[in-house]
Amino acid sequence: MNFKNFFFKLLNLKKETKEELMKKFLIVGLGNIGDKYTNTRHNIGFKIVDEVAEEHNVTFETEKLGDVATFRFKGRTFILLKPSTYMNLSGKALKYWMQKEKIEIDNVLVVTDDLNIDFGTIRIKGKGSDGGHNGLKDIQEKLGTNKYPRFRFGVGANYSKGRQVDFVLGEWDKEETSQLIERLPTSAKVITSFGTAGLANTMNTFNGK
């Protein structure tokens, strides 16, 4: 093989590699590690990525800064991440895995709870403020931007003044637990839609549901 052919082959290889990278997606469910947090409202991000992993028959393995599971769907690679850094340092794990897997910010989806949305309601956006959410606040600080896709799952605001922390760190009540059985599969579809149909189509399909 002459040098010219080798050079063009190398260029094509790099192009293919770039195309493969564009088909990789990092899905980051926010939450706190430990049994006492498992069924709390603040851990809905963990619960949703757990649902996705179960539907695609993959298990999480403990890796650096989090538990990770990977699966392929319709030609895309989805990397599910549950940070082990606790909520307030979520950005550290997200940034590490973005860099490790060479995933662009547009291919990252952060899954989190939101007090400002009615229970069970889905809201997906491509950018926005942290809204007082410590996990989102740390992600924004670590990335240096608020322009990253996020999937907010409404947990409602059924708490008295001054009891916000107790509410988000409290466990789901019986009615919420029953309704989650229905809401989690829909939430899982948001994840795969994000990777296969794109952010805009996913917003149009699921926002407000």
Question: 34: helix, coil or strand?
Answer: coil
Please compute, for residue 135, the number of CA atoms within 13 A of its CA located in the half-sphere on the CB side. Answer: 28
* Phi, psi dihedrals of residue 36, rounded to the nearest 5°: -70, -15
37 marked as part of a ligand binding site = yes
Spatial CA neighbour of 46 closest among 58, 32, 61, 26: 32
Q: Of 24, 41, 42, 133, which residue is the catalytic one?
A: 42
96 marked as part of a ligand binding site = no
159 marked as part of a ligand binding site = no
Q: Is 42 among the residues known to form the active site?
A: yes
Please compute, for residue 38, the number of CA atoms within 13 A of its CA located in the half-sphere on the CB side. Answer: 4
Spatial CA neighbour of 30 closest among 97, 99, 105, 85: 85
The residues that bridge with 170 in the sheet, in sequence order, are none
86 marked as part of a ligand binding site = yes
Counts of helices then strands in the chain (DSSP H, E): 7, 7
Please give the annotated binding residues, written as ranges.
37, 86, 88, 134
Binding residues for tRNA are: 37, 86, 88, 134
Enumerate the active-site residues.
42
